[in-house]
Structure 1
Amino acid sequence: MKAFLSTIASVATLLSVRLVDGAPQAARWSNQTLGPDGPWNAVAVTLGNGQDVTIYAGKMWESYFLSEAYCGNTSVEGQPCYAQQVGAIYDESKGTGYKPNISIQSGPYFTSDMTGVGSNGTRYADVIHLGTDASSWATTDKVENFDMVLMNDTELQYPNGNKYPLFAGCLSFGAAPNVMNQTFQVKPGQASSAINASLLAGTLYTQNSIDSQTFGMHIGSAAPEKIPGSLWFGGYDRNRAVNEMLAIPIADPYLVFSGAPLQDISIDVVKGGSPFPWNSKGGLLASGNSSIGNRINLDINPCSPYLNLPKSTCDAIAAEIPVNYDEGLGIYLWNTTSPDYSRIVRSPSILSFTFADTNDNSRSVNISVPFMHLNLTLDQPLVDKPTPYFPCNAASNGYYALGRAFLQDAFFGANLKTAIYFMSQAPGPNLNGQSVTIMDDECRTLQTSANDWATSWDGHWTPLPEPDSPTSSGGTSTATIAGASVGGVVGFSLLAFASFLILRYRKYGKGISLCGIPLVNDKPAAYYGANTTESPNTKSPIEYWQQQQQPAMELPTNHGNAWQLPATDRAVEMETPRIVYEMPDNYSGNNYRP
């Protein structure tokens, strides 16, 4: 009996440790990729008594799910319901949830960047598990009375007036600052009858399942190179954050992750040759729009697919790449017949976003998204056939936000207690394992890894060959022109010097030496006569002239000496020995006196 009680006590101790150990809790990522506007990675949660639902992650306050009635209310007869195919429908009739007595209505849609039409959502609550275990033993990742809204017929309306169904709902992380649950008063001013609905991070924290009301996420990418998603509550994977970290306050009324101070957007080439006439071009954010000023503040919205930017900004980027604007959809379609299309989307060409540091005006943080990740695909029901598109939404109704297209390559996290969210560059496909780190309850910044971002892409993009003579965006560079000028002068000088040597050599047989080292030898003696061998009776020039018997003709000189030539009616060719003697100044024909 004593042993039995001891065993029970040991089990109770283990359970208590499990309840308060505070280790970060991981969200589960679905095997399904979502979206005829992606594809995108998505998480999977377990609701009620074991119903798995695929959903996007990341908003604040209540979580939005597609209800059992959704497909029947939005699907066209004869066409499949996309959300049902990917497991994004929550069937409340098979769950354990209920409708709380809440009169405050929710809107039909969970974001403002696109027009959502339909009836208001239905307030709901159920049990949620981050993991797959929905048993009563699974408590560390379990939240009861979870705050939900069910969408019954919401559709998105595009600029052409066409309406399209939603592809999935959106999971909430929690709320700030330091909010554990969402409270609804049944009667205004009467707290006693208020109804509470639980929020995810706050409730996990109060249950001692995690050490802080925090989360860290990198959604990764589904194509063309698979980068699996990462979402932790109470911590983050440090290897999903590289370079510098940016900390941004969540502004009151704390409804969205607002206030990201975007300073500029540029197109850059990381390595290799450039598919553009230049290697870098900035100033794209405010191009053609003086009202933007030196920055715009926008939201970070993982529930939205696009880069929701001013049309002038989208047009400035589009002017540098082979895309065409689709007015009906408000986005840009890649011109796949252009030879530049594949060169851009396969090379290390990036769209770089520069953010100001609100705590240090001398510092900025860059987050780069390769064009490989901005070559996304539209599919039915948005278009008739798969169509590559560039996800800049020029019809965002003045609501500027960076969605999943940006977050494929950005780490995103928050401390909901201190109302601060974090952003940094995320790595490419070459992930360096996991480094799960607990976030402190009072943290106001995060540490990044020492991993190199460009290296994380090695082997997954194709650098273009570098040109032999690189040029700037303005044409031939000054260095190139100067080099050509100097080269021409040097070349002409060498040609003139070579011509002088050849003439000297042909006329006088003289070679040339440098510092006593012969570079070109004198002509051999045989060159000057008919014989090819040297005669044993070779005479010096003095001896030769002394043997001549003919009278000499004297030529006057300025020095009073005379050089005498033999008086003969024929030319006499003088033998020249291999050694040539220099004639003294006082030489006077036959009257030589040393």
Structure 2
Amino acid sequence: MENPPIAAPLVFDASQEWDGNDGKWSSFVIGVGTPAQNFRVLPGIATGEILVPSVEACKPEIQATCGVQRGAFPFDGHQSNGFQANKSSTWQQIGLYFLDLRDDLNYTGKGLFGLERLGLMPQNPKGPTLRNQVVGAITAGGPHVGVLGLDVKPANFSTFDFPQASLMTTMWDESRIPSRSFGYTAGAHYRSPKVLGSLTVGGFDQERFDPNNITFLFDPDDSQPTSLHVQNIVAKDTLNSSIINLLDNVAYMQLDFTVPHLWLPHDVCDRFEQAFGLIYDSDTDLYRVNDSIHDQLLQKNPTVTIGLGTSDPPQRVNIELPYGAFDLTAGAPIYDNDTNYFPIRRANGTKYTLGRAFFQEAYIIVDYERLSFSVHQARFPQTNKPRDIKTIYPPQSLSTNTSAASTNGSGIPKGAVVGIVLGVSIGAMLLIAYLFVILKRRRTKRKTDPNDMAQIPPTHDGVQELHDDDKKPSEIQGNELHEMVGYQNREEVDGTSRIELLGDIPRVSRSIHSSTDLVEKSRKK
């Protein structure tokens, strides 16, 4: 009996627009609800959900421009300021919850969540439409522009028994993509001509990166799967030196394009500050660049090379970033007027992260089927050059497709093939261990006392301070090479009653009592 045909990768078309109040980022278009309310959004790997700005999030003083700045398209004959749940006939409300992002970086907020109809690439007649997707309408804090979640973990808004599938898993379950995997690069506004972002789900675009043979396994900590060792950071042609080493010791860092900045050790930020003539702004926690220094840096065009790799076996990928990748502008509400800044941040503890600014010059391929990923120097082909889309097949298809790097060009780089072979040979044993571990761990989305949220400091990555309710992010579980299966539990944001989802999801009443235990009390081990 022949196996059913495998779907082709889903290639997203960029919006042709550059969005964000912390840089110019290449966005993608989705449609939410019935009739569709369209938004430009940015891909994110910290969540598997869809996040869009809510109409309630726009402050009265910026109503005239708020919607456009946050990626909302005109709706119902007028410029929209955000998602209007009461205008959609397919909205199934769940309640207020924390945003599923990066609390450790204060990149959080709150949103009104529900299940909703979702159209991908609504500008394309062939763009798929999905039902009952988890959608959060951002009501406070969080990112300025919406998020297209690419994580695979399901969300659970009550007990462990009622998971809601992520976008990636829904597409996989409905045979719309060949595997739970993707390739992504953020695009580069500073290039001439400008180069849009690239997102392929179920494969990758081989024209957009320089191949290498290095594959990294997911971190066993499901909160930071795409993590690796940064072996060095070297700057060339800075203001006061031809070559300078910015990182003394190897540092373990997470790759996460959900957030815009590079969160680095304090001493590394200090060296950047000296080498590039930056000015630390304690009010925003950003590094500003004054006009004089900005002109000098544009003229000198320094480069920063970030070396990623492992010591056993010894292997390294060098990603070079020109000054243009760091030459960003922050606007309202971070600053009243557009302000040049350098996208590095002082990380608290060891939650070092290479964010979206890094992915302007890097291409990442993430394979959830084999719990592995690879990172490559991004390539910027001419706009008229056709894509070269390759398929990442699921492990179970290898018997009929020979390998994920098959003779028809539908495969992943050579280094990932090693992961495939290893995964097939030991996958069963690891899967048993993995299932045991994952059933022991889960995260919860919770209610909180509205008064507690006033204690949380403002986030300058997002739009405004968090004042009352919030929501908590998810985890992935992972060890080595096996399939992803995971759940996250959620509880509601405040102590008030919320509309349950069609009676299917039991209500949760436990709440936290202070913002200081926001993270710890969100976990159930």
User: Which residue of structure 2 aligns with residue 266 of structure 1?
Assistant: 234
User: Which one of the candidate residues 342, 361, 364 is aligned to 2:316?
Assistant: 364
1:184 and 2:136 are equivalent in the alignment: no
User: Which residue of structure 2 aligns with residue 53 of structure 1?
Assistant: 39
User: Which residue of structure 1 aligns with residue 475 of structure 2?
Assistant: none
Tell me how far apart the structure 1 counterparts of residues 156 and 52 of structure 2 sit (CA, whole Å).
Answer: 22
Tell me how far apart the structure 1 counterparts of residues 62 and 46 of structure 2 sit (CA, whole Å).
Answer: 36
**What's the CA shift string for 1:421-460, capped at 9, x where partnerless?**
22111024656542111113235993289xxxxxxxxxxx
Tell me how far apart the structure 2 counterparts of residues 232 and 298 of structure 1 sit (CA, whole Å).
Answer: 24
Tell me how far apart the structure 1 counterparts of residues 147 and 304 of structure 2 sit (CA, whole Å).
Answer: 27
User: Which one of the candidate residues 315, 327, 343 is aligned to 2:282?
Assistant: 327
Specify whether residues 237 and 134 from structure 1 end up closer, same or farther in structure 2 by C-alpha distance, changes over 3 A only.
closer
- 1:86, CA displacement in angstroms? 4.1
User: Which one of the candidate residues 386, 389, 393 is aligned to 2:345?
Assistant: 393
1:42 and 2:27 are equivalent in the alignment: yes
1:313 aligns to what SS in structure 2? helix
User: Which one of the candidate residues 96, 104, 107 is aligned to 2:98?
Assistant: 107
Specify whether residues 68 and 382 from structure 1 end up closer, same or farther in structure 2 by C-alpha distance, changes over 3 A only.
closer
Specify whether residues 365 and 85 from structure 1 end up closer, same or farther in structure 2 by C-alpha distance, changes over 3 A only.
closer
User: Which residue of structure 1 aligns with residue 114 of structure 2?
Assistant: 124
Q: Is the 2:179–2:394 Cα contact (8 Å) retained in structure 1? A: yes
- 1:313, CA displacement in angstroms? 0.5
**What's the CA shift string for 1:149-202, capped at 9, x where partnerless?**
3322225xxxxxxxxxx4112211131xxx6xx2638556xx4xx3x4232222
Structure-2-length-normalised TM-score? 0.66
- 1:267, CA displacement in angstroms? 0.7
User: Which one of the candidate residues 345, 364, 377 is aligned to 2:329?
Assistant: 377
Aligned residue runs from structure 1 range 220-231, under 5 A: 220-223=187-190, 225=192, 226-231=194-199
Tell me how far apart the structure 1 counterparts of residues 328 and 90 of structure 2 sit (CA, whole Å).
Answer: 37
Tell me how far apart the structure 1 counterparts of residues 166 and 121 of structure 2 sit (CA, whole Å).
Answer: 17
User: Which residue of structure 2 aligns with residue 173 of structure 1?
Assistant: 150
1:77 and 2:45 are equivalent in the alignment: no
Q: Which amino acid aligns with 1:87?
A: G
User: Which one of the candidate residues 435, 439, 452 is aligned to 2:388?
Assistant: 435
User: Which residue of structure 2 aligns with residue 252 of structure 1?
Assistant: 220
| Structure with more relative contact order (C-alpha pairs < 8 Å, separation 6 or more) | 2
Specify whether residues 276 and 66 from structure 1 end up closer, same or farther in structure 2 by C-alpha distance, changes over 3 A only.
closer
**What's the CA shift string for 1:76-95, capped at 9, x where partnerless?**
53664534544343222233
Aligned residues: 388
User: Which residue of structure 2 aligns with residue 514 of structure 1?
Assistant: none
1:314 and 2:269 are equivalent in the alignment: yes
Q: Which runs of 5+ in 1 are unaligned?
A: 1-16, 156-165, 269-273, 287-293, 450-594
Q: Which amino acid aligns with 1:22?
A: A
User: Which residue of structure 1 aligns with residue 371 of structure 2?
Assistant: 419
Specify whether residues 396 and 330 from structure 1 end up closer, same or farther in structure 2 by C-alpha distance, changes over 3 A only.
farther
Specify whether residues 95 and 185 from structure 1 end up closer, same or farther in structure 2 by C-alpha distance, changes over 3 A only.
closer
1:207 and 2:177 are equivalent in the alignment: no
Q: Is the 2:48–2:168 Cα contact (8 Å) retained in structure 1? A: no
Q: Is the 1:259–1:299 Cα contact (8 Å) retained in structure 2? A: yes
User: Which residue of structure 2 aligns with residue 94 of structure 1?
Assistant: 87
**What's the CA shift string for 1:233-275, capped at 9, x where partnerless?**
111110111153542222235344442211111013xxxxx56
Alignment RMSD (CA, Å): 3.2
Q: Which amino acid aligns with 2:40?
A: T
Name the % identity.
20
User: Which residue of structure 1 aligns with residue 49 of structure 2?
Assistant: 63
1:25 and 2:18 are equivalent in the alignment: no
Q: Which amino acid aligns with 2:51?
A: F
Q: Is the 2:155–2:166 Cα contact (8 Å) retained in structure 1? A: no
2:324 aligns to what SS in structure 1? helix
Structure-1-length-normalised TM-score? 0.59
User: Which residue of structure 1 aligns with residue 256 of structure 2?
Assistant: 301
Q: Is the 2:208–2:380 Cα contact (8 Å) retained in structure 1? A: no
Tell me how far apart the structure 1 counterparts of residues 122 and 43 of structure 2 sit (CA, whole Å).
Answer: 17
Q: Is the 2:227–2:252 Cα contact (8 Å) retained in structure 1? A: yes
Q: Which runs of 5+ in 2 are unaligned?
A: 73-81, 396-403, 406-410, 416-525
Q: Is the 1:242–1:448 Cα contact (8 Å) retained in structure 2? A: no
Tell me how far apart the structure 1 counterparts of residues 103 and 337 of structure 2 sit (CA, whole Å).
Answer: 28
- 1:215, CA displacement in angstroms? 0.7
